[in-house]
């Protein structure tokens, strides 16, 4: 096993180490893997096409006196180098990108960043890009690196681009884009409903709460997937729940295995009433997942991408617009 995977196992909870067994030898055996959270995954479902922009920044070319205090620049595309990658599941890969070790990435909780990749040229010969948001879940306070954990879709233009990346390749990134500003103890109890890769912003908030000894917020997560094998970060979530009494996690899958002991099927009114905090001014329910799940649970966002009305299961249970946030 390569140096990368040995250090990966040591630097992260034991829940993660199994995901990297049996990997091929790393191409960067000297890579030093810092301690901290390791994963990030897509934080959105749609992609957009942009044309070429001249304002591409290179962190190693910025003068120290005028350079940024964070690696991300909100109005410029910055190139980040892929340091290492590893297989996490049958359709998910972990990517670690590096930057100046004296800098932090520049993300608040909960925020995402935007990546772009070239996608041919238009009729005028201008470069066309596919643009996709992703939510890092590596510790925002980490210096010199961030991690993305990306599910590879057969028809996904951006995920297919990531699947072809090799250590040393670069990806252009811009951000951050703030979703909801989390502050410690802003609510007594936060409920979460996540589907598939929608676990990403949830984990970002969960880890911010659990690492702060002064934050007494309770968290209840319902996590839905197709099958047990599709549950991303399950062992890490289980480890966090076992070591933090203020975190409760409930899993449900569409296609259970023979020995599955969690929920089965779509998220129902009964699941939500038992697994989430009751509607009140001191609770907030965060929702993130594929469009079908969003429509069923909370209703989708409005056409202008504002939060829109609450519908579905959450409306039936009495939650109002100020008690629900849709990623």
User: What are the angstrom distances between the C-alpha of 38 and each of 16, 67, 70, 269?
Assistant: 9, 27, 19, 33
| Binding-site annotation, residues | 132-134, 151, 157-159, 200
CB 92, CB 137: distance < 8 Å: no
Report how far residue 324's alpha carbon sits from residue 189's, in angstroms, rounded to the nearest whole number.
12
Report how far residue 274's alpha carbon sits from residue 261's, in angstroms, rounded to the nearest whole number.
16
CB 285, CB 311: distance < 8 Å: no
Pick the closest to residue 255 from 270, 240, 246, 265 (CA basis).
265
- Side-by-side strand order, sheet with 263-264: 263-264, 247-253, 218-225, 189-195, 283-288, 324-326
CB atoms within 10 A of CB 133: 21
Residue 189 tokens read as 């109890």
Pick the closest to residue 252 from 284, 285, 275, 219 (CA basis).
275
CB 96, CB 4: distance < 8 Å: no
Going by C-beta distance under 8 Å and a sequence separation of 6 or more, which residues neighbour residue 81? 97, 98, 99, 168, 169, 170
Report how far residue 259's alpha carbon sits from residue 107's, in angstroms, rounded to the nearest whole number.
40
| Binding-site annotation, residues for FAD | 132-134, 151, 157-159, 200
Pick the closest to residue 209 from 110, 292, 307 (CA basis).
110
């Amino acid at each position: 096993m390569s140096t990368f995977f040995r250090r990966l196992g040591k630097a992260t909870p034991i829940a993660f180490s199994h995901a990297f067994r049996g990997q091929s030898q790393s191409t960067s055996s000297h890579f030093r893997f810092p301690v901290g959270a390791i994963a990030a995954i897509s934080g959105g479902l749609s992609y957009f096409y942009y044309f070429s922009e001249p304002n591409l920044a290179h962190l190693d070319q910025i003068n120290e006196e005028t350079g940024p205090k964070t690696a991300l620049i909100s109005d410029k595309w910055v190139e980040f180098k892929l340091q290492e990658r590893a297989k996490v599941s049958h359709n998910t890969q972990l990517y670690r990108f590096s930057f100046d070790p004296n800098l932090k990435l520049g993300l608040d909780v909960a925020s995402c960043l935007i990546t772009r990749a070239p996608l041919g040229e238009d009729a005028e010969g201008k470069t066309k890009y596919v643009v996709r948001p992703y939510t890092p879940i590596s510790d925002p306070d980490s210096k010199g690196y961030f991690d993305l954990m990306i599910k590879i879709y057969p028809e996904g233009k951006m995920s297919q681009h990531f699947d072809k990346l090799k250590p040393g390749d670069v990806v252009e990134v811009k951000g951050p884009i703030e979703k909801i500003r989390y502050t410690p103890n802003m609510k007594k109890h936060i409920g979460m409903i996540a589907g598939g890769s929608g676990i990403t912003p949830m984990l970002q908030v969960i880890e911010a709460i659990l690492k702060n000894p002064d934050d007494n917020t309770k968290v209840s997560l319902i996590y839905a997937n197709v099958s047990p094998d599709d549950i991303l970060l399950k062992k890490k979530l289980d480890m966090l729940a076992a070591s933090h009494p203020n975190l409760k996690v409930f899993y449900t899958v569409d296609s259970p295995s023979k020995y599955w002991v969690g929920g089965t099927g779509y998220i129902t009114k009964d699941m939500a009433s038992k697994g989430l905090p009751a509607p009140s001014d001191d609770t907030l329910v965060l929702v993130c997942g594929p469009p079908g799940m969003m429509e069923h649970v909370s209703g989708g966002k409005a056409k202008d991408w504002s939060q829109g009305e609450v519908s579905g299961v959450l409306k039936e249970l009495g939650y109002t617009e100020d008690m629900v946030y849709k990623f």
